[in-house]
A and B are shown apart, each in its own frame.
Chain A
Amino acid sequence: MAYFFNTPEDRQAMLAAIGAESVDELFAMVPAELRLARPLALPAAMTELELTAHMQQLAAANTSASDALCFLGGGSYDHFIPAVVDALSSRGEFYTSYTPYQPEASQGNLQAFFEYQSLICRLTGMEVSNASLYDGGSAVAEAVLMSMHATKRQRRVVVAASVHPEYRRILETYLVNLGTELITVGAPYGTISVDELAKCIDDETACVLVQQPNFFGCLEDVAAIGRAAHERGAMFVVSVDPISLGLLKRPGEYGADIVIAEGQSLGNPMAYGGPYLGIMACREDFARRMPGRIVGQTTDRDGRACMVLTLQTREQHIRREKATSNICTNQGLYALRATIYLSLMGPQGMREAAQLCLQKSHYAANQLTRAARFSAAFDRPYFKEFVVRDADGQVETLLAEAMDQGIMAGAPLGEWYPEWSDCFLVAVTEKRTKDDIDRWANCLTRVNSRREVAHA
């Protein structure tokens, strides 16, 4: 076995030093009747060569976004990842270290996390960022719990139906045990109505949660929503797409109290859903309510500037049942990747990526909706995603046939919104070329004409 050291001689010498006859004797604390009397029923060991062949075989049984054209979105996106991100984050000094409990031996990670926090603040227009949470979905739940602590309002939370349905499901799961009422405001035309929303907010509402751009890709009237929340003393929590902030107003500019985001787009692979990066930033007033690690600047005994984990009394290892959250491990390596990504992109790179997404998604929508069968489901401004309605209502067949031609053409909406089972969600990133988009539109349109031929 490649990772063990002890030779039979080592074992003998070590047992002698311990004063034990055998390794088995060291397990004497485990009562005999609790011991497993057989080997674990697991497949036999593999060498690196065998494992590599096996994994390649499993990988070959998948069709990846490298083999097919990916127009899937809904919180996970096929954005470009520069080679530098992989090269730097695969340095063992980064990925085989742990939480910087010993700051003197962790200044590299601490500075990277401090830079991450600084970049996230600048990206979102907020004052304080933590050093990451698990993912954009659980970050939503953490933000809502944080608002309940900060406002000391436990009774009600108001959420837009246009927030990612899986994020809302997470929120439900977290809140059911706390007895908090979750009010969902409908988005029948792709965005929510501020008047409808305002009616749902009462004086015991902890926060209003929206997503910008929302799950359908559409832009909400966030400034008005924020005002409606603040009028009743509720906090305004916004989930954003970090790529969109190359172009769109930053949440700090329209009154957000807590911003969360799925940071996968910032240099992290789609990896079938994770690990991803939960981004969270807030206004200074709420810093001590924030979950997760936070790195702060200070000086050492010799007066040198340095970094350290700070505000630790918020955390579970000190506060235990009264902690802000139970979070311990975060997503350090993915925060590092996002830091490297943002350093490479800079302001201009972020703006250009956002502009490419915007232009290409609009081109794609225009190309596809030239066919009579397809129309835009919502007449609202959108950023990089849009919802297409199939007049034939054959979404499943359509997407299956597109896949046969090597195109992941979109995600069916019906699973989450049964009323829109004739619709699918399409995302277009900067990676899709005009040719890709034309191929996608032609493919979907051809499926259409073939069907009509079959009917004739």
Chain B
Amino acid sequence: MTPNDLLYAKTHEWVKVDNATKVATIGVSAFAVEALTDLVYIELPAVGKTVKAGEPFGEIESVKAVSDLYSPVTGEVIEVNSGLASDLGVLNEDPYIKGWMIKVRLAEEASLSKLLNAADYEKQCSEEAH
């Protein structure tokens, strides 16, 4: 059920790039949501902030753990899914559409080449599960 039209980071974030506008939408995968269990809190950056590929852009917490959210791309945050904080259940129900986190105007596209396609990402997840 890993969507084929997205790219994935090894750290479990997904990216969808709109080639016309050069805007990347970012979220986390269903596998990650499941592994984190019982989510309680999310912290996302403000609009206007610059994010860098491979560096944290926010945090997500469950009862017993906290994880950084790593940006798969570099650019400026132009929109944030602000409704997410009050309804984290969306991440369990629909992590790929309604559960998007931030939209970033890409400053470069080189980092996209380091991301995985759906098949490779699924392979990584099945290895991690063991």
A interface residues (Cβ-Cβ under 8 A, vs B) = 288, 312-313, 318-319, 322
Contacts and interface: CB of A to CB of B under 8 A. Distances in A.
A312 B40 CA distance: 11
B1 interface: no
In the A-B complex, the 9 residue pairs with the closest CB atoms: A313-B66, A313-B61, A319-B66, A318-B66, A318-B65, A288-B41, A318-B64, A313-B65, A312-B63
Interface of B: 40-41, 43, 61-66
A322 B61 CA distance: 13
Contacts of B40: 313
Contacts of B65: 313, 318
Contacts of B41: 288, 313
Contacts of B43: 288
A139 to B, nearest CB: 24
17 contacts: A288-B41, A288-B43, A312-B63, A312-B64, A313-B40, A313-B41, A313-B61, A313-B62, A313-B63, A313-B64, A313-B65, A313-B66, A318-B64, A318-B65, A318-B66, A319-B66, A322-B66
A4 to B, nearest CB: 38
B84 to A, nearest CB: 16
Contacts of A288: 41, 43
B35 to A, nearest CB: 15
A343 B66 CA distance: 37
Contacts of A313: 40-41, 61-66
Nearest to B64: A318
A318 B62 CA distance: 11
Among A288, A313, A318, chain B packs the most CB atoms within 10 A around the CB of A313
A318 B66 CA distance: 8
Contacts of A318: 64-66
Among B41, B43, B62, B66, chain A packs the most CB atoms within 10 A around the CB of B66
Given A288-B41, A313-B62, 8 more contacts: A313-B40, A313-B63, A313-B64, A313-B65, A313-B66, A318-B64, A318-B66, A319-B66
A35 B40 CA distance: 50
A153 B64 CA distance: 28
Contacts of A322: 66
Nearest to B66: A313
A288 B42 CA distance: 11
A90 B63 CA distance: 34
A363 to B, nearest CB: 53
B99 to A, nearest CB: 20
Contacts of A319: 66
A284 to B, nearest CB: 13
A322 B68 CA distance: 10
A318 B63 CA distance: 10
A287 to B, nearest CB: 10
A288 B66 CA distance: 12
B25 to A, nearest CB: 25
A14 B63 CA distance: 41
A190 to B, nearest CB: 41
Contacts of B62: 313
